[in-house]
Amino acid sequence: MGVAEVAEYARVSRQAISNMRNRDDSFPAPVEELRSGPVFLESEIREYFEPRGGSAGRSAPMSDSVVRHVPAEFDPLDKANLVASVVSALFSAPAQPLGQFEPFNGSGIYCVYYSGGDELYAPIADGDPSRPIYVGTVHGRTRASSETLSASSSPALARRLRGHAQSIEAVERHTTPTIKHPLFVRDFSFRCLVVDEMWAVPAIDSVMSRSAPIWNSVIRGFGAHTTGSSRRAVKAAWDTLHPGRQWAEPYEDGYSVEELETLARKHFSRSLETGVGI
């Protein structure tokens, strides 16, 4: 979450959030500082504001010891419940090896999983469907126009997954004894769901909030195709930690490997405390 999203969540101004950061030492520290501003973990923001009566805060406990509960009507067609069913279908889809799968048509959502031996990613290497290392969505649109295609009419999803496999294969080819965090495509799998864009976007947002995949939130850049044309462009965190993609090599590192290791371990430590992503 950026400052604007935090302010919207807390129903205060951006300036109020800046004041809180400056005056309250318990305000959550950002997980990353981008040019556009700090980025915070949604779980930590919720944990900070709920006791203070934030917009998502729970009502104050009743003064007496009687537990009063009035069951709410469950609407299976409510948007939140429909989105939850899409997420459940994604997590229930069969896992397939990222490096070798049959071509297919479809756009929608996907999760990439790691099962290798790098201790840095050990907390998510247990095969749990709700602990992806990266998630993404592919919309059913052509590059030549904004024409919307049906969810099953384009090979865009398979093409995206193959691109991810190629990124990991580039790192694998670059592996030397001095590389601290090599990657091997055999250690990666994916689950995907061909689904209309109407449901793909809220579903992947739900997965992001629930799972906080590290390659989406801390070690960013896995899904990038180029670093950009800016003279001040720096190498993405993912390419610093996992070098190998040739187009990224000319750029300077924005972080050291050691700094990124520290960020990753803090991310997983917070996840253990909050239950988000673990």
Residue 276 lies in a domain: no
Residue 236 lies in a domain: no
What per-residue confidence (pLDDT) applies to 271? 76
Is the domain of 93 the same as that of 189?
Answer: yes
pTM tops 0.85: no
Q: CA 35, 36, 40, 41 torsion: positive or negative?
A: negative
Cα–Cα distances in Å, from 75 out to 69, 72, 81, 202, 206? 18, 9, 8, 18, 19
Instruction: Please compute the mean of the pLDDT values over residues 57-73 and round it to a whole number.
Output: 52
Is the domain of 36 the same as that of 83?
Answer: no
Domain end: 219, 243, 268, which one? Answer: 219
Residue 253 lies in a domain: no
Q: Is the per-residue pLDDT at 165 higher than 50? A: yes
What per-residue confidence (pLDDT) applies to 152? 63
Residue 240 lies in a domain: no
Which of 1-5, 57-61, 103-107, 151-155 shows the lowest mean pLDDT across its residues?
A: 57-61
Residue 180 lies in a domain: yes
Structural domain including 18 reads: 3-52
Domain end: 219, 237, 254, which one? Answer: 219
More confident residue, 210 or 96: 96
Q: Is the per-residue pLDDT at 147 higher than 70? A: no
Question: Which residues, in sequence order, are CB contacts of 37 under 8 Å at separation 6+?
Answer: 2, 3
Residue 49 binned pLDDT confidence (cut-offs 50, 70, 90): confident
Residue 233 lies in a domain: no
Q: Is the per-residue pLDDT at 128 higher than 80? A: yes
What per-residue confidence (pLDDT) applies to 208? 93
Residue 224 lies in a domain: no
Number of neighbouring beta carbons within 10 Å of residue 242: 29
What per-residue confidence (pLDDT) applies to 64? 45
Q: What is the pLDDT of residues 191-234, one digit of tens each?
A: 999 999 889 999 999 999 989 999 999 999 999 876 554 445 78
Work out how many domains the chain is built from and give that number: 2
Distance between CA atoms of residues 27 and 85, nearest Å? 34
- Two structure tokens written together for 104: 């297919």
Is the domain of 34 the same as that of 106?
Answer: no
Is the domain of 149 the same as that of 206?
Answer: yes
Is the domain of 87 the same as that of 204?
Answer: yes
What per-residue confidence (pLDDT) applies to 129? 95
What per-residue confidence (pLDDT) applies to 62? 40
Is the domain of 37 the same as that of 155?
Answer: no
Residue 119 lies in a domain: yes
- In which residue are the tokens 């429909």 written? 82
What per-residue confidence (pLDDT) applies to 227? 52
Is the domain of 94 the same as that of 18?
Answer: no
